[in-house]
Amino acid sequence: MVELNKIYNEDFLLNSLPDNCVDLVVTDPPYKCISGGHEKGLSYKHIGSITQKNDGKIFEHNDILPSSWIPEVYRVLKPDSHCYIMVNTLNLELFLQISRESGFKLHNVLVWEKQNCLPNRWYMKNCEYILFLRKGKAKPINYMGSKTVHQFVNPQGNKLHPTEKPIDLMELYIANSSIEQGIVLDPFMGSGTTAIACINTNRNFIGFELDTTYCGIANKRIQDALSKKQ
């Protein structure tokens, strides 16, 4: 029996969730990144880059294939519900292909515009992309005045997670695609941003995070958020 409002320090692929049990999926999964490094003695390393090792990885558990977890997300999501998957340009085509093969339909490609840029020789990157998917019939979002480009400040400084996302960005997606007391799944919870957004918007959550350190950070944030709300 899976408990609500808990982050499981487990592999999502080993979950015991029944079919069609969650109302919404919002996640920022691990995926391959463009290196920030050097080759053949010539350095193009980005100062402060999280990919300086030049291996295309950010996390210890960075090699999970989208073909393994996207079908599982589709299985546990209720029919006529939404799914938000954050992705970069390198993996956009692959993620969309696997999502369609798994049964998802594309509603839209959303853009998170950040206030900072990443160095790049082919235009500096100041945004990230989100696949806005649906399972089953099309369902409108709750606030139909929402636009496709979303401007939220990127967490900087002493971040709790290398790819930490703004809480208010996650709140937007959760508020637009679920109702209060609905169940939101994040199979790659990281430092718990999706869970905090659920608490702030009166939703239930189920999370999975394989990294013990980040799971501990997420649980601490959840307790702090619950204390503030009370």
Please give the Cα distance from 30 to 226 (Å, whole number).
Answer: 27
Residue 1 included in any domain: no
Cα–Cα distance for residue pair 42/99, rounded to 1 Å: 38
Q: Helix H segments across 126-230?
A: 167-177, 193-200, 212-229
Domain total for the chain? Answer: 1
pLDDT at 157: 66
Token pair listed for 188: 């790659």
Q: Please provide the average confidence, as pLDDT, over all residues in the chain.
A: 87
DSSP state of 143: -
Q: What are 118's strand-pairing partners?
A: 125
Q: Residue 58: what pLDDT?
A: 52
d(CA 95, CA 181): 29
Residue 45: CATH number of its domain? 3.40.50.150
What stretches in the chain show pLDDT beneath 70? 34-62, 156-157, 159-162
pLDDT digits (tens, 9 = 90+) for 199-212: 999 999 999 999 99
21-74: pLDDT as tens digits? 999 999 999 987 765 444 444 444 444 444 444 444 454 656 789 999 999 999
Backbone angles phi, psi at 184, to 5 degrees: -110, 130
Q: What is the pTM of this model?
A: 0.87
Query: Does residue 130 belong to any structural domain of this protein?
Result: yes
Task: Say which residues have a Cβ less than 8 Å from residue 58's Cβ, sequence separation at least 6.
Answer: 30, 33, 50, 51, 162, 163
All residues at 6 or more sequence positions from 227 whose CB lies less than 8 Å from its CB, including other chains: none
Q: Which domain holds residue 151?
A: 6-229
Torsion (CA) 197, 158, 46, 66 in degrees, nearest 10: -30
Measure Cα distances from 30 to 25, 69, 91, 190 in Å. 15, 11, 10, 10
